[in-house]
Amino acid sequence: MIVSSVLEVRRRLDSIRREGKSIALVPTMGALHAGHARLISSAREQSDCVVVSIFVNPLQFGPNEDYQRYPRPMEKDVELCNALGVELIFAPEVGDMYSGPQLSFVEVPRLTQNLCGAFRPGHFRGVATVVLKLFNIIQPGSAFFGEKDYQQLCVIRRMVQDFNLALTIVPVPTFREPDGLALSSRNVYLNPDQRAIAPVLFRALNLAKELVDAGERNSEKVKAEPLRLLQSASGVRVEYFEIVDDEVQPVATISGPVRIASAIWIGKTRLIDNVPAR
């Protein structure tokens, strides 16, 4: 079932709640792939009613980013949701989510100053704001997010903690192609030559992880060889390659669990990925 109206989705979910059923939310921007399917399947296993939101959120796109050309294959998305037993698809128009100019925003400054936040000003403000709106509209008991977007996951977790929201954030491991490339809706932008190059990102992250697991504690030494690998790949531009703690702060010396995260450009396509270490 597809619903676009905020009032209608609330009405339908109130009825489900009165039956004592648990509700899980999988927030997406559509262009669903096997990674989203894993999120939906995880939600399906842990709840009675799965809601998938499909909304390309203009607040999280910068002025020179790909909002207009972001893929919107709604028919295929609906087919996937139906195949996985999703009870309700919430697919609002921009006017449904933003009935006027948005004057209130959610900021999580410390967690958004590094990694993607340093290169996409305002992005996580847009993400946190729309996710809080979705949480208020759907009122789920749990919400499922992929670990590929690690910084986003950290931001949402902290927002839930800081605002005492009554739901559980469930992280789901990154879904990868056989060659290691993390699934992303933006992978469709890659031409065949670029797609062949793209797995170098995962190889570089794994190389760094191997160095950490082998006992190297100096972050600069850990990053040196993976950076050389990325910089030697044809057509690749490195945006960042960092080792951060659970508050997304870069660490100079590795003394506990860390996340190795990177963003690269291949042509006009931006790819992000991360792996845990230690």
Active-site residues, by number, are 36
Q: Is 250 helix (H, G, I), strand (E, B) or coil?
A: strand
Q: How far is CA 241 from CA 43, 61, 124, 197, 228, in A?
A: 32, 22, 19, 17, 11
Q: Is 203 helix (H, G, I), strand (E, B) or coil?
A: helix
Residue with tokens 């192609």: 177
State CA 58 to chain mean position distance.
15
Burial 18-37 (b: 16+ CB within 10 A, else e): eeeeebbbbbbbbbbbebbb
Q: Are strands 88-90 and 2-3 parallel, antiparallel or unpaired?
A: parallel
Torsion of CA 106, 110, 111, 117, to 10 degrees: 80
CB 190 within 8 Å of CB 269: yes
